């Protein structure tokens, strides 16, 4: 690790705010090699992040916020370094497909909750027909939850 006292760089707190990555995650990403070794302030020993590392942390923060795995982050950085556009496209398509599936699962869960609210609303109003209809729909949606 290089000791640099004349290049202040950003503190870990500043990089955390910019990237959206918690400080422990920044340290972890450095430890596992997603982020290059970070320079240290000569007098304090505190991390000082230079522009290239900050840019990488921001990119990783975006990937992390979309649920991208560490494995895919490694692949992203590897393909970025080699300029392999086809692999990068495939990686982002795969992750977009994953998000699409998650959204669909969330829509089914939302439908279930709305129907349960309808069922209890019908029961509260004393409307057996609406309660029966809601129960039928809840049963149908339950099969989609699994």
- The full set of domain ranges for the chain reads 1-65
The per-residue pLDDT for range 71-93, each reduced to its tens digit, is 999 999 999 999 999 999 999 99
Q: Which structure tokens are listed for 94?
A: 């795969």
Indicate whether 42 pLDDT > 90.
no
Provide the pLDDT for residue 2. Answer: 42
Q: Which structure tokens are listed for 54?
A: 């900050």
pTM of the model: 0.77
Residue 86, H or E segment = helix 85-125
Nearest to 75 by CA among 100, 97, 92, 55: 92
Indicate whether 94 pLDDT > 60.
yes
59-80: b (≥16 Cβ within 10 Å) or e = bbbebbeeebeeebbebbbebe
**Highest CATH level, class, for 1-65:** mainly alpha
> Which of 39-48, 55-64, 80-89, 130-139 is predicted least confidently?
39-48
Length of the chain in terms of residues written: 146
Whose tokens are 């556009």? That residue is 85
Query: CA 84 to CA 91: how far, in whole Å?
Result: 11
């Amino acid at each position: 690790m290089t000791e640099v006292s004349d290049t202040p760089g950003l503190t870990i707190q500043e990089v955390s705010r910019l990237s959206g990555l918690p400080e422990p995650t920044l340290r972890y990403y450095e430890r596992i090699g997603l982020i290059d070794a970070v320079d240290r302030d000569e007098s304090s020993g505190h991390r000082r992040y230079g522009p290239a590392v900050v840019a990488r942390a921001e990119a990783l923060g975006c990937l992390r916020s979309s649920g991208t795995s560490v494995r895919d982050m490694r692949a992203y950085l590897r393909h970025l370094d080699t300029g392999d556009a086809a692999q990068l496209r495939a990686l982002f398509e795969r992750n977009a497909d994953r998000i699409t599936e998650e959204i669909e699962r969330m829509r089914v869960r939302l439908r279930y909750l709305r129907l349960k609210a309808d069922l209890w609303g019908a029961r509260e109003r004393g409307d057996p027909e609406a309660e029966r209809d809601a129960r039928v729909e809840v049963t149908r949606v339950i099969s989609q939850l699994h």
